[in-house]
Chain A
């Protein structure tokens, strides 16, 4: 059992946490993404960062509804979430999901939800820069070829390209880039609510096309910073029957392993 406190528990004690960790639906329910959530929380706990989650008071941000065209469902969820967060006086949010990050940062302010929102890539990078994260167990990554898959909602959507790369470099791994990267990064295929429906008719699945680019680099680890990207690329790796040789990890998992908080096999 991980030690996690909710906003309600903090409020009951008359305390306020440093930051609200917005877990997101994937991070809460998806088995693969739950692991990332746990890794991130292990890092937070290890560094004694006072954080809270909303727990059962958290709802979906409304991102997939909004991008599918259902503004009504989006705004109902958004206004509920804003009401909850404002009642707790939330100031700072960190989240492991670029979709939650984007919508909380860019679309909530107009509805009355004004917070300082950070994605965990930037959050972790700042912890490294300030020396709070000590990578005691980074030697396992030495010489490992890692490629980073840009999440559209971090990269093009919000111009965050360097923070996740800085983390991988801090791990002493050999960062190799795919044919399409950074501003030209190819989508994993999940955005715009595609995650929740079958792809339209085409010649190849987008996640398979992206995975091909990742495999071409010869990397043994594909790093991602988004739960949906991780799922899509993992599926792609399985479709290519490379799951034994090539692993997909979130940057939080890699960073946790670098601090000896997590055992990854790759």
Chain B
């Protein structure tokens, strides 16, 4: 009987009522702190992500609901499966480690959240500790996460090295100066901090368990580190574990709030972006139905007089001058871009020293959306014209737009199916059809095409001259 009782209470000290209540208070404080922290983070995150959604929806309406099976397949292969990343094997493998690690780590987050809200410690472990198979599985999962975290640590250093020490051309372009460069490094530093906290948490936890039970939980990596801490005494170990635990969840929360203003938003938006990306051949530039209407009236003047004269139609704007004229899908792409620069590295104009950089097209689009959004935020959510637009005004210049050869190299390269060319064409349309902003040679070419049906000044009647050798 005595043995049984002793067994049941073994994990606990036979402490006085006073110290138990002290522990209870400490636990209660932690629960309250966790609830307060989580509550404010979720509230703020909701606001920030709702704002992103509103910003994307500032774009022109476009219904995208065709061919759902193919869209799902793309999402599975390109977004989830990272198919296009593997055109470049080394960065693809490095990226894969962080990606898998990020996704799998979220499993552990479930337990951490339950523990935080209920004041428990490793609730899942304790729920399954008497079921060998499940306990083994738990230890395996946590250990697997530890191994991935360790790999991620090496990869993060590799990324810092690639980004800052060896001069990879796509990381050296002028559009990355300032915030984009800082942002990229911030993410990597956050990763290092997060991993440090994860190992403080697990090692501290295991060292404590080791002191109390003579063996660890059995996690592979922290299990090797735990004995080194055991000399520190239980209080110091508990402090290390608690710093790790709180630091870990705080980093996760900070990251959640940091994402909306970072290029790193791609970890969420890559999925919808690939899903909604266009499926038509890359060479196809969709026709403008509003122009078809005009041309048909021009070709058949009778129809013009027969047209109903009832309601005056809203004047149509051709092409895009600002972000509201682009489709919401273009704005989603801008928010999904992680500024990797594979597009720019492949761009023939950029390779030959022209100003055009497809990555900058996406970055400028997002920056202009943010500018519009900030001005709306300061004005009760209402947009008031600011006299600026996406063209010039510190954003995309006419020179950049004119340098594009529409070769689709940027579209081909993008690992998450972003299409910078789609935006370039819409902006070009506005330059040409609204502002008549064309180089002289193009003006001549248009005139020839209009007058004699060829870009050069040759008569249509001479089209068979080639038959005479």
Determine if A69 and B351 form an interchain contact, defined as CB atoms under 8 angstroms apart: no
Q: Is B66 an interface residue (CB 8 A)?
A: no
Determine if B287 and A200 form an interchain contact, defined as CB atoms under 8 angstroms apart: no
Which residue of A has the minimal Cβ distance to B456? A29
From B6-14, B176-184, B396-404, the one touching the partner chain is B396-404
Determine if B458 and A29 form an interchain contact, defined as CB atoms under 8 angstroms apart: yes
**Number of CB contacts from chain A to chain B under 8 A:** 225
Which residue of A has the minimal Cβ distance to B454? A25
Determine if A183 and B412 form an interchain contact, defined as CB atoms under 8 angstroms apart: yes
Q: A107-B287, A196-B441 are in contact. Are A206 and B349 (CB under 8 A)?
A: yes
A202: contacting residue among B296, B352, B407, B454, CB under 8 A: B352
Q: Is B312 an interface residue (CB 8 A)?
A: no
Q: Is A76 an interface residue (CB 8 A)?
A: yes
A190: contacting residue among B284, B354, B405, CB under 8 A: B405
Q: Is A12 an interface residue (CB 8 A)?
A: no
From B93-101, B205-213, B429-437, the one touching the partner chain is B429-437
A75, A153, A183, A204 — most chain B CB neighbours (10 Å)? A75
Chain A residues in 8 Å Cβ range of B28: none
Q: Is B21 an interface residue (CB 8 A)?
A: no
Determine if A187 and B287 form an interchain contact, defined as CB atoms under 8 angstroms apart: no
From B32-40, B116-124, B268-276, B442-450, the one touching the partner chain is B442-450
Q: Is B295 an interface residue (CB 8 A)?
A: yes
Q: Is A169 an interface residue (CB 8 A)?
A: no
From A52-60, A140-148, A239-247, the one touching the partner chain is A52-60
Q: Is B469 an interface residue (CB 8 A)?
A: yes
Q: How far is the CB of B420 from chain A (nearest CB, A)?
A: 13
Q: Is B228 an interface residue (CB 8 A)?
A: no
Which residue of B has the minimal Cβ distance to A157? B283
Determine if B318 and A71 form an interchain contact, defined as CB atoms under 8 angstroms apart: yes
Q: How far is the CB of A210 from chain B (nearest CB, A)?
A: 8
Give the bracket for the number of chain B residues in contact with chain A.
35 or more
A187: contacting residue among B405, B453, B458, B466, CB under 8 A: B405
* In the bound complex, CA of A73 to CA of B319 (Å): 14
A71, A189, A198, A199 — most chain B CB neighbours (10 Å)? A71
B467: contacting residue among A1, A56, A153, A185, CB under 8 A: A1
* In the bound complex, CA of A196 to CA of B447 (Å): 12
Determine if B469 and A38 form an interchain contact, defined as CB atoms under 8 angstroms apart: yes
A67: contacting residue among B294, B409, B425, B463, CB under 8 A: B425
Give the bracket for the number of chain A residues in contact with chain B.
35 or more
Q: How far is the CB of A258 from chain B (nearest CB, A)?
A: 20
A64: contacting residue among B284, B399, B412, B445, CB under 8 A: B445
Q: A65-B445, A76-B295, A193-B442 are in contact. Are A106 and B283 (CB under 8 A)?
A: yes
Determine if A106 and B284 form an interchain contact, defined as CB atoms under 8 angstroms apart: yes
B405: contacting residue among A53, A102, A192, CB under 8 A: A192
CB-contacts of A15-61 with B (<8 A):
23, 25, 27-29, 34, 37-38, 41, 53-56, 58-60
Determine if B282 and A28 form an interchain contact, defined as CB atoms under 8 angstroms apart: no
Q: How far is the CB of B425 from chain A (nearest CB, A)?
A: 7
Chain B residues in 8 Å Cβ range of A102: 281, 283-284
Q: A71-B318, A202-B349 are in contact. Are A156 and B455 (CB under 8 A)?
A: no
Q: How far is the CB of B467 from chain A (nearest CB, A)?
A: 5
Chain A residues in 8 Å Cβ range of B442: 68, 70, 193, 196-197
Q: Which 10 A-B residue pairs are closest in the complex by CB-CB distance? A: A157-B283, A203-B353, A69-B428, A59-B453, A192-B406, A202-B353, A69-B432, A187-B407, A106-B284, A34-B466
